[in-house]
Homo-oligomer: A and B are copies of this chain.
Amino acid sequence: MPKVSEEHREAMRQRILDAALACVARKGFSAASMADIVAEAGLSAGAVYLYYKGKEQLTVDVGRRVLEDRLAILEVLGRARPVPPPSQVIPEMMAGLPKTQFFPGIALQVWGEAVHHDELAGVARQIIGDVTGHIAAYLQKWLQSTRGLDPDAAAAEAARLAPAVVGLVQGYIVQVAFAGGDIGERYLESARGVLERL
């Protein structure tokens, strides 16, 4: 088994994917041409096709990566003891979002693309489900520790609240993408206001 070749292959795919991500972030999915990507990657036209079958595959991988990156910030949840309240941990999580590459404009673009792209839509559905599940798990812990609910009751209440909490995060993404700048802090403060009553 040709080891070098395999590593090289993976490295090249990464490099191409990075380039594609940058181009899409700058110009959008359809306006980003293979020529742009190729130039950004510092390769020549034909080379790309050795590693990616075509633009379609590249599109899906870019979308998948953007969406999956969102999962990374979920680590914040449930780390600290005692379990911190949602009004602290959720805004913290949102504040961490824009730090990741090219966020949040690109996430909106991926959503838009996914609407008419079945494979991406599947990925989006799955990620949203994952995020909701993680948030629900955190909420359950919090409800148990601060309200003394028994596990079942806490789980039920957590499952009820989780989708809206995720929605709050999605709203943040939308608003930051357009209003930018000062809205970020205003929104976080607003989210705190809503969450601290939970």
* Contact status A164-B193, CB under 8 Å: yes
Question: For the complex, what is the distance from the CA of A125 to the CA of B190, rounded to whole Å?
Answer: 18
Q: Report B-chain residues with C-beta under 8 Å of the C-beta of A174.
A: 111, 128, 167, 170, 174
Q: Report B-chain residues with C-beta under 8 Å of the C-beta of A80.
A: none
* Contact status B28-A116, CB under 8 Å: yes
* Contact status B168-A167, CB under 8 Å: yes
> What is the size, in residues, of chain A's interface with B at 8 Å between Cβ atoms?
52
* Contact status A108-B109, CB under 8 Å: no
Majority-rule SS of A interface residues: helix
The copy count of this chain in the complex is: 2
Q: How far is the CB of A68 from chain B (nearest CB, A)?
A: 15
* Contact status A178-B124, CB under 8 Å: yes
* Contact status A121-B178, CB under 8 Å: yes
Q: List 11 A-B contacts (CB under 8 A).
A: A31-B116, A109-B115, A111-B111, A112-B112, A112-B113, A121-B178, A125-B178, A129-B179, A160-B189, A167-B191, A170-B171
